[in-house]
Chain A
Amino acid sequence: MNNSNTAKTITNISAPFDVERFRKDFPILNEQVHGKPLVYLDNAATSQKPKQVIESLDAYYRETNSNIHRGVHTLSEQATAIYEKARGKVKEFINSDSIKEIVFVRGATEGINLVAQSFGRNMLKPGDEIIITELEHHSNIVPWQILSEQTGATLNYIPINDAGELILEEYEKLLSDKTCIVAVGHISNALGTINPIKTIIDKAHAVGAKVIVDGAQAVPHTRVDVRELDCDFYVFSGHKLFGPTGIGVLYGKEAILESMPPYQGGGDMIQTVSMEKSTYNALPYKFEAGTPHIAGVIGLGAAIDYVDQLGLEAAAQYEIELLDYADEQASQVPGLNFVGTAKNKTSILSFTLDGIHPHDIGTILDGEGVAIRAGHHCAMPVMERFNIPATARASFAFYNTRQEVDALIQAIDKCQKVFN
């Protein structure tokens, strides 16, 4: 499986990345907004879906819809089979050891909360320490704040420099034998910074801490290998990976997941239930209480197939070139300030314009058909660090083009005309 992936990738890299071919897979890219062609640059919020994913959902509901793991009838067996096959695809996709390590959750947010409550709450005592970073999305901040209130553990933040990069010397100062959990984003959704997570993980392990990586922004842009990273947990959301909303993945090392109590109780997660006591199902089902988002899992499987045939490495290379082009164009716009200039970054152009509030930028760009995000991007500590209320953020996917970057720049020009 791995070998065939590598082979595919190599052919893809040698041929130029055929963006027009892949764009045809995304029906929504033909939409018009305010009479202008849609230029979708809000991929960090959620990505668009290729027809292969849309059709997988349709086919499931038309042909196979049934509950899983509990029927002896044909449809239920078929539904169970495609559901579990998708789990296998996720396992391959992140190179995990075993399907027991792949837990389906609603999204990155639920994955982090599961780890905080099931793993953290049982382990932490007053005086223990959790380390997160100033770059995190609120979903990788608030669960740890809640946990620290529940357990009396202290929450510390790795600060960032003016470029939006983590200051690793400060991280080293925070680490000690009191550190139990390090939670860090792989790629920042607000600034696009790619964090040196391998280094962060190794240093945490050296003091005996466990590491959870929030990969929500990483999986669409980079190949993730959880074994090579040696992270203890890794979470991501399907909807940012060209799959459906409402489905995500928690990867956890088997031995750790094994040691954790269930997060929620219900059907599917038990072996036996008597009125006195229940015994729990094996991994990963212990963490999948209730009827799961079956269609979502199937759609996620289709999204992973899609990304595999696309060649994530080739797409990533294309995205880097596109971002370079966007940076170059944006740097020529008078009054435009970049927010987040990390050396190692991807797919995100966060900016402000002198004298124009990001929300006004967002509205005016929308009038030109250009969809971006304006706001704090669920990363208020980042905004505080740069002393701004908000930024305008264009975030790219492999289906975006240079012409779309040009449309963005023209729309920014229009903003300046409206206000000057």
Chain B
Amino acid sequence: MSKGIQLMFDIKDLYQEVIVDHNRSPRNFGRLENADTTLEGFNPLCGDKLTLYLKTNSGKINEIAFDGSGCAISVASASLMTDAMKGKSLDEAEILFNQFHNLVTTDDDYDAESLGKLVALAGVKDYPARVKCASLCWHTLHSALQGDNAPVKTE
């Protein structure tokens, strides 16, 4: 029996250029002064920790940033997510959250156009242990937008 049934296995399917780049120089990284929402996310299994900062105004995400530490997948995901979320309405954010969730957990078709660079994270779904890394920041954002104040845990 052979494990990891993918025929052409290539680690670069997971660690794509975009991910390596966003890990090396994360965008929107650093504390946001005067944030109106600040929420922590924590992945107890890995010790990944991030804090998300948001400024929303009339139903729109005006500014968004994060800091913390984690693996390349979690840092790149937060970097890409914050880029993608800037200027989105809360409804649009919710739609993108669901699209991203499908992207990393299902084999369903996805809308490459609205996901944009986030598509680089599609490879994660072949690594069940790493899905949590990619989704930590998203769950944190989701809770923050729902008005939850409790820190988010992925377990």
Contact = CB atoms under 8 A, between A and B. Distances in A.
B70 A357 contact: yes
A143 interface: no
A418 B20 CA distance: 8
Given A367-B9, A418-B11, A375 B46 contact: yes
B119 interface: no
A364 interface: yes
Interface in A7-37: 31-35
B32 to A, nearest CB: 23
The listed residue with most A CB atoms (<10 A of its CB), out of B3, B24, B48, B49, is B3
A383 B3 contact: no
A383 B47 contact: yes
Interface residues of B, number: 27
B95 interface: no
A55 B133 CA distance: 40
B145 interface: no
B29 interface: no
B47 to A, nearest CB: 4
Given A34-B4, A360-B71, A390 B20 contact: no
Interface residues on A, range: 20 to 34
A376 B3 contact: no
Interface in A322-360: 355-360
A360 B3 contact: no
A390 B47 contact: yes
B3 A359 contact: no
Contact of A376 (B1, B47, B73, B127): B47
Contact of A357 (B2, B45, B72): B72
Nearest to A376: B47
Contacts of B9: 34-35, 367
A199 to B, nearest CB: 33
A383 B45 CA distance: 13
Contacts of A34: 3-4, 6, 9
B70 to A, nearest CB: 7
B35 to A, nearest CB: 24
B3 A31 contact: yes
B3 A32 contact: yes
Contact of B130 (A359, A375, A380, A389): A359
B47 A360 contact: no
Contact of A35 (B2, B130, B133): B2
A359 B71 contact: yes
A359 B70 CA distance: 9
B69 A375 contact: no
B2 A32 contact: yes
A389 B70 CA distance: 8
A357 B73 CA distance: 10
A265 B112 CA distance: 60
A363 interface: yes
A34 B4 CA distance: 5
26 contacts: A31-B3, A32-B2, A33-B3, A34-B3, A34-B6, A34-B9, A355-B24, A357-B70, A357-B72, A358-B71, A359-B46, A359-B133, A360-B72, A360-B73, A363-B127, A363-B130, A364-B15, A367-B9, A375-B45, A375-B46, A375-B47, A376-B47, A383-B47, A389-B69, A419-B24, A419-B72
Given A357-B71, A389-B48, A418-B12, 14 more contacts: A32-B3, A355-B24, A356-B72, A359-B46, A359-B130, A363-B129, A367-B9, A375-B46, A375-B47, A389-B46, A389-B69, A418-B15, A419-B15, A419-B72
Interface of A: 31-35, 355-360, 363-364, 367, 375-376, 380, 383, 389-390, 414, 418-419
